[in-house]
Amino acid sequence: MAGFDLSGRRIWVAGHRGMVGSALCRRLESEKCEVITVDRELVDLRRQGDVEEWMSNAHPDVVVIAAATVGGIMANDSRPAEFLYDNLLIETNIIHSAWQLGLDKLLLLGSTCIYPRLAPQPIAEDSLLSGPLEPTNEWYAIAKIAGIKLCDAYRRQHGCDFVSAQPANLYGPHDNFDLQSGHVLPALMRKIHDANVSRTQKVEIWGTGNPLREFLHVDDLADALVFLLRHYNQSGQINVGSGEEVSIAKLAAMIGEVVGYTGEFSFAPDKPDGPPRKLADSRRLKAMGWQPQTRLVEGLQSTYRWYLDSMQRPQTTFPPTT
């Protein structure tokens, strides 16, 4: 299938230190392109001047916007200004400069939390803006919906090849294992690991444990992104899911098995559940010929190995952004 050729292109992975960006950099090593990155200490992506100057000097051909302020349910709910301001500015600045400089392609990342809280499941792309958002993450969602619309607007007014992809709940190497700001999978992995080490027989699961979530390994996402760079050139966002959906209680049990935890779980119904279900309809992407490779149980095992290894590395930090 002929498509956009990556060979010889300079691809800027914005957000290369995060979970998504680092996975994409690893995946792009097997392509004949040149990956370029810049550290956040040098360029603040929330400042248009910084972004314009850096992009016009670095002259990328392609940009993937994996830089974002992200976090789990508590972080989203408690830092609304940051989630809205940072994400609006990052995507606006990069998209506008990409148009001004005539980049060949731009791919913006979001997440399935852009969809209405009670969207029909599995959630098809055309559910966007068809109902009220989930209140715990509406700030992030509004910013990402604006990003999708920016891509569409520059495509419509200026003919730019700008696209956006919305992955399911991600996990894998370089995830954020912080208990307050992380997502459920790394947070539970860390809590369960710590309980094992300290021989505590109880681990707390926030909420009721009933919500259903679809988990996608970040290496599968990176592979899908390369596929989309090659083959996707349309307005509107495209979903990227694994189809593997589990309840939060079941996820905790699976992580418990991987970690070798034999204690109990308790629930904290005073903590928010978020949306009851968030399963992406990924039929469009699959019909184009892409499939995920990593089963959840294998992904949990490899992520736990990565987590254990990371604790041996003195410099490890768990970045708050992807």
Tell me: does residue 256 bind ligand GDP (CB under 6 A).
no
Exposure string over 41-50, b if 16+ CB within 10 A, otherwise e: eebebbeeee
**Smallest gap from residue 268 Cβ to ligand GDP (A):** 8
Distance CA 68, CA 137 (A): 14
Nearest-CB residue for ligand GDP: 72
Kindly identify the residues of this chain, within the stretch 118-137, that bind ligand GDP according to CB under 6 A. Answer: 137
**Smallest gap from residue 303 Cβ to ligand GDP (A):** 14
Q: Which two tokens stand for residue 261?
A: 């935890």
140 is catalytic: yes
Distance CA 244, CA 289 (A): 18
Query: Which strand ranges, in their side-by-side order, compose the sheet holding 162-167?
Result: 34-36, 10-14, 62-65, 105-109, 162-167, 237-240
Tell me: does residue 227 bind ligand GDP (CB under 6 A).
no
Phi, psi of 142 (to 5 degrees): -60, -45
Distance CA 228, CA 265 (A): 40
**Smallest gap from residue 202 Cβ to ligand GDP (A):** 13
Strands 245-247 and 212-217: antiparallel
Nearer to ligand GDP, 53 or 204 (CB): 204
Tell me: does residue 250 bind ligand GDP (CB under 6 A).
no
**Smallest gap from residue 275 Cβ to ligand GDP (A):** 6
Applying CB under 6 A, among 114, 248, 255, 258 the residue interacting with ligand GDP is 248
Distance CA 112, CA 319 (A): 21
Q: Which two tokens stand for residue 49?
A: 């001047």
Residue of 115, 140, 154, 171 with catalytic role: 140
Choices 78-86, 146-154, 176-184, 228-236 (CB under 6 A): range interacting with ligand GDP: 176-184
Tell me: does residue 105 bind ligand GDP (CB under 6 A).
no
Closest among 239, 244, 227, 249 to 294, alpha carbons compared: 244
Q: 70 vs 170, 229, 265, 273, CA distance in Å?
A: 11, 23, 27, 18
Nearer to ligand GDP, 152 or 244 (CB): 244
> Going residue by residue from 275 to 304, which x/- string records binding to ligand GDP, judged by CB under 6 A?
------------------------------
Name 36's bridge partners.
12
Tell me: does residue 15 bind ligand GDP (CB under 6 A).
no
**Smallest gap from residue 203 Cβ to ligand GDP (A):** 9
> Going residue by residue from 184 to 213, which x/- string records binding to ligand GDP, judged by CB under 6 A?
x--xx----------------xxx---x-x
**Smallest gap from residue 209 Cβ to ligand GDP (A):** 7
Closest among 197, 209, 296 to 252, alpha carbons compared: 209
**For binding to ligand GDP (CB under 6 A), which residues are involved?**
72-73, 113, 137, 169, 182-184, 187-188, 205-207, 211, 213, 248, 271-274
Residues marked active site are found at: 140
